[in-house]
Each structure stands twice: as structure tokens, then as C-alpha cells.
A and B are shown apart, each in its own frame.
Chain A
């Protein structure tokens, strides 16, 4: 019971600290903006650890964070192998191919308003569909290895990306396009110097959505067949064997990979669209 009490006390103390920090001038500084969420994350972990220890929760129901950390430390090679299979071979190539294909398609139909008017509603609709359902079919087509995972990711990211790029290419204003015309700019020059930069906020919005979809696609596809490694495979087999600490270790890796991918996109966005109001503080 004492573990529970200690955890509760620590949690309350840290929460009070957060309340105080949020009201104090520290919260306006950059360090404060990082510190407060980090403390919050720590309180959750402490509470979790305390609950598991204090209430004696069986490890097959919920392992303690310390047990998960220990598991991560002892099975690094296996985690790396799964990570390489699912993220590096499945999600990333699929993400790049899907986004690249969407970009080329958007450019290809850029000169035809007719095709755009047709494709945009369909693309919007398809983007809302549960494309994940294609996973079993694509696994059947491309086999168990990473190719089928990449294919699922390609299909999943293609439509959200396409819709965003097409919308983005229409984002420049009439006046700006007219100005380019008065300068005698060709179609290509207008595209490269005006319309693509103007489309960047939309494109990055799509890339952010696509980066999370890519991980979902790569992991789900492994539920339908995979080699004997990979994050989705490991999760589904370890759940069957009640090795929940391993499952949580994989989830931690997935969370880290997802956050890093998202953060990378956000970082590039800040660098590319520095002129956009949302990036200026």
C-alpha cells in the first residue's frame, strides 16, 4: 500500500508544481513550455508505477513502467530488428512513394480544371474511407515481406496527400497569379516560384496526416502475414503469449518512431514555410 501512497503524494506534489508553474511567469518562457508537459508525463508514469505496485496488478494485465524499461533494455537487438523491418522497410518507403505519387498526380492534372473538379470530391471521399481494409488484399498480392507493407502505406497516404496538394495548388490568389502573368512568367515559372511555395502549408498538413497513417498501415498489414519479425507481428504474437511487457516495449518504440517522424515533418515545415502566419510568433 505504501507504494500507492507515495505515488499519490508525488503525483499531487508534481501537479501542484505544474499549477504553480503555469500561473507563474516561467510558463511564458521556452523552458517553461517544455518543462510543464514533461512534468505531467512524469506524474503519469509515477502514478502508473504506484498503482501497479500498490494494488498488486498482475504483470499480464498491466506491467509497471520500470518492468517495461527493463524489457526494452534487455531486448534492444530484437526491437531494432522489428523497427527496421516495419518502419525503415515498410513505412518510410511507402510514405515516400505514396507522397511522391500523389505529388506527380496533382501536377499532372494541374492544367485540367475538369479533372480536378472530378478528382477532388472522389479523393475527399476515398480519404475518409477505411483504406486499412485493403491490407489483406495487398498482402495477398505482394507477399509477406516488406513490399506488401509499403504497398498498404502507399495506398493509405495517397489520397489524403493528393487532396491536400490539389487544394494547395489553388491557394495562390488571383492577383498574385495575374502579377506573375504581367511579368511574362511561363506556366513552369509560375508553378515553381508562386504556386508551389503557396501550396506548402497544405502539403505539410497532408504530410503530417500521412506520417501517422504510414505507421498505422505498416503495423496493421503485419497482422495479415509477415516474416517472423516486425512490430505488428511481435505485438500480435506476444499478446497471444501474454508477454505484455514486450508489447508495451514495442508500443514505446512505435510511439517514439511516430513522434520523431511527425516532429521531423514539423521541423522541415518550420524551415520551409517560415513566412506563414502560423509559424511566426
Chain B
């Protein structure tokens, strides 16, 4: 809790800057309107008018909060305007991608640690795969899967999310599975442990801290992937699609509200992963 005061100070600073930015960016419109109607506005009038425009350049925090509240609590959960509904769609895609990414990452890491040829040939390409901007592939994956007769956008979204989230898991698991030192490996050999037993009783438990550390990165990456997967061409559900709609119809408030909804979702996911991590650590007897 030592950090609470500094964090609140920074947050307050951000909000003050935001209001200043609101006045600065929205004032042009107010002066424009005043000039058109031939009136002049004083500074305080101008400030007041920048606070509740319908289509502000930068909406003030309270307007965003109001729109967010309306989106979250103002409608039935099943409504197409409910951010909870869209958030759920995005959440579903994120979790599918996260699951796929974990499976792919762990399996690949196991193969890489076991077979030297996999390590040498696949590992460099795994690194290169992350320098390819996946978003370049996103529109294609989506059209491709619909051409192949896959209904819905869940799978393509999950593939994009998995592509982004498998890498942190892979890197950490390779490190983790290799973390037992020679002494421990030798000990198991003196016990007459086979390869399978060594893997299950030494390598796998030893890799767990690495695994959980990577999950936080992976879930954030998965959410980014899902949102990117919702952006291009014709999505109607999900927070990313909501942003796109806000952009196309010139409704900045919708964009900001969905952006903050995505931020809240990200926060909840990270906290949830952290909770699972603590649970697992306690279960495995790690102190603290």
C-alpha cells in the first residue's frame, strides 16, 4: 500500500491533463459555432461548452464515464448496445485464443527441449514469427476461414489471439523445462528414473514458476489479438467491432467507452491470472 499515494497522484495528474486537453482540443469547435452565430463567448463559457459536446474531439473523463456506465449498466445484457455483451464476445475469443496459445506453446516447448533437431530448426522461426505483424494476416485469416466454410468469426479470432499468445508461453516453458541443473538430473538418474519420470517429477514442476509468469503476458497479448481480429471488415460483435463502428459513424464517445471497457477487461483478466498463479504457488508449497 506504500505505492497507493504515488499512484493516486499520477492518476490525478493524468485526469487534470486530460481536462486541459479537452478544453484545448474542443475549444476550436466552440469558437467556430460562436462565430457562425455572430456571438462571442467568454473563456468560462467556452470551457463549459467543451464539456458536453455530442461529438467532441476529445471527450472529457466524466462524459466517457457516463457513456461507459450507460453501456455497462444502462441496457439489458443481451442488447446489441450493451458493452457487457460485446465484452463477453471479446472475452470468449480471448479465452479460446489463450487456451490454444498455451497448448501450442507448451507442446512446442516440450518438443524443443526433448529433440535437438526441433530446437535448432523451429526455435529461430518461432522468433521470426513474432516479428511478422500478425495484423497483416488478420483480414486474410478471416476471409479464408469463411471461404473454407467455417461459420462465425470465433475461430479466426482465436487463431490470431493464439498466434500472439503462444510465443511468451513457448519461450518461458523452454527456459523452465531446462531450469533443473545437472545435479538434480543426475540424482534422478541414480534413482533409475526414466525419461518420462524425469519429465513429470522434475522438469514439469520446475517449469511452473516460468509458466505462470508467462501467462500474464500471454493473456494481454491474447486480448490484443482478439481485438485486432475484430477490427477489419465487417465484424459486428465484440469490443473491437464497437470501436470500428464508433470510428465509421463518427461517434467518438462509443470509441472511448469501448476502449475503456477493453481496458477494464484487460485489468480483470490480469488480476484473474495473478490469482490463479498465487493459488498454484501456494498449492505447490512456494513460500510467500
Give the B-binding residues of A (Cβ under 8 A).
18-19, 21-23, 27, 32-33, 36-37, 39-41, 60-62, 114-119, 121-122, 125, 128-130, 132-134, 136-137, 139-141, 211-212, 215-216, 219-220, 223-224, 231-232, 235-236, 239-240, 244, 247, 250-251, 254-255, 258-259, 261-262
Instruction: With A140-B57, A211-B131, A239-B140 given, name 14 new contacts (CB 8 A).
Output: A33-B120, A37-B125, A117-B6, A118-B8, A119-B10, A130-B266, A133-B239, A136-B246, A137-B259, A140-B250, A212-B133, A231-B136, A247-B140, A250-B136
Q: Which residues of A contact B250 (CB under 8 A)?
A: 140
B36 in the interface (beta carbon within 8 A): no
Q: Which 9 A-B residue pairs are closest in the complex by CB-CB distance?
A: A118-B6, A136-B247, A40-B121, A258-B131, A22-B117, A118-B10, A128-B220, A37-B124, A117-B6
Q: Is B132 in contact with A27, judged by CB distance below 8 angstroms?
A: no
Binary per-residue interface labels of chain B (213-253) against chain A in the complex, 1 for a CB within 8 Å, 0 otherwise: 00011001001100110011100000110011011001010
Q: How far is the CA of A132 from the CA of B160 in the complex (A)?
A: 15
Contacts of B148 in A (CB 8 A): 61
A114 proximity list for chain B (CB < 8 A)? 5-6, 9
* Interchain CB contact under 8 A, A19 and B117: yes
User: B204 in the interface, Cβ–Cβ < 8 Å?
Assistant: no
Provide the bound-state CA to CA distance between A259 and B116, in Å: 24
Q: In the complex, what residues of A have CB within 8 A of residue B152's CB?
A: none
From B6, B10, B134, B233, A236 is in contact (CB under 8 Å) with B233
CA–CA, A115 and B154, complex, Å? 42
| The one of B143, B144, B266 that contacts A129, using a Cβ cutoff of 8 Å | B266
Q: Flag if A18 contacts B120 (CB, 8 Å).
A: yes
Q: Does B139 contact A (CB under 8 A)?
A: yes
Residues of A within 8 A of B216 (CB): 128
| Interface residue range, chain B | 35 or more
**Nearest A residue (CB) for B124:** A37
Q: B7 touching A37 by the CB < 8 A rule?
A: no
Interface of B is mostly: helix
- B83 shortest CB reach to chain A, Å: 13
Which B residues touch A36, using CB under 8 A? Answer: 117, 120-121
Q: Please, which residues of chain A bring their CB within 8 A of the CB of B228? A: 132, 216, 220
A23 engages B116 (CB within 8 Å)? yes
Using A39-B121, A244-B140 as known contacts, say yes or no to A255 and B132 having CB atoms under 8 A apart: yes
**Cβ-defined partner of A216 (8 Å) among B133, B147, B256:** B133
Q: Can you give 21 A-B contacts (C-beta < 8 A)?
A: A37-B123, A62-B144, A114-B6, A117-B6, A121-B3, A121-B7, A122-B7, A128-B220, A129-B263, A130-B262, A132-B135, A133-B243, A219-B133, A232-B136, A236-B233, A239-B139, A240-B233, A247-B140, A254-B136, A255-B128, A255-B131
Q: Mark B6-24, 1 if CB is under 8 A from A, else 0.
A: 1111110000000000000
CB-based contact A235/B136 at 8 Å: yes
Contact status A61-B147, CB under 8 Å: yes
Q: Are A136 and B255 in contact (CB under 8 A)?
A: yes
From B137, B256, B262, contact of A251 by CB (8 A)? B137
B3 adjacent to A117 (CB under 8 Å): yes
| Known pairs A18-B117, A40-B121, A239-B143; A133 contacts B132 (CB<8 A) | no
